[in-house]
Amino acid sequence: MTMIKIYYESCEELLPLSSAGFHPDLLKTLDEMGIITLQTDYISVSDLSRVRRIASLRNRLGVNLIGAAIILDLLDRIEELETEIQSLKWR
């Protein structure tokens, strides 16, 4: 009997940390805080987008990393609720 390994590739594109445009230590700190999830020396496109939004909040509002992450989570939640409200209106 022959064993066959099946590998499933993620639908999410991964980019090397070196091409992310942010210092690797910042990305590793965000990973340790649970704000993003790094995969070895790679970051997903969606997590990179999240880091960009956090950086924008920090630059515009002057908040720290945790504050920016909380704001981002709240903005995401508001967007989800608005989408849910719209879908309920059309029923």
What 8-state DSSP symbol labels residue 30? H
Say what the pTM is. 0.75
Give DSSP secondary structure letters for 36-88.
Answer: S--BTTEEEHHHHHHHHHHHHHHHHH---HHHHHHHHHHHHHHHHHHHHHHHH
Would residue 14 count as lying in a domain? no
DSSP string, 17-29: GGGSSS-HHHHHH
- Take residue 37 and report the two structure tokens written for it: 């999830």
What is the predicted pLDDT for the residue at 68?
94
Structural domain includes residue 1? no
Print pLDDT tens along the chain (91 aa).
555 544 444 557 899 998 899 999 999 999 999 999 999 889 999 999 999 999 999 999 999 999 999 999 999 999 999 999 999 988 7
In a domain, 16, yes or no: no
* Domain boundaries, position 60: 22-89
Whether residue 35 lies inside any domain: the answer is: yes
Nearest CA to 22 among 65, 60, 61?
A: 65
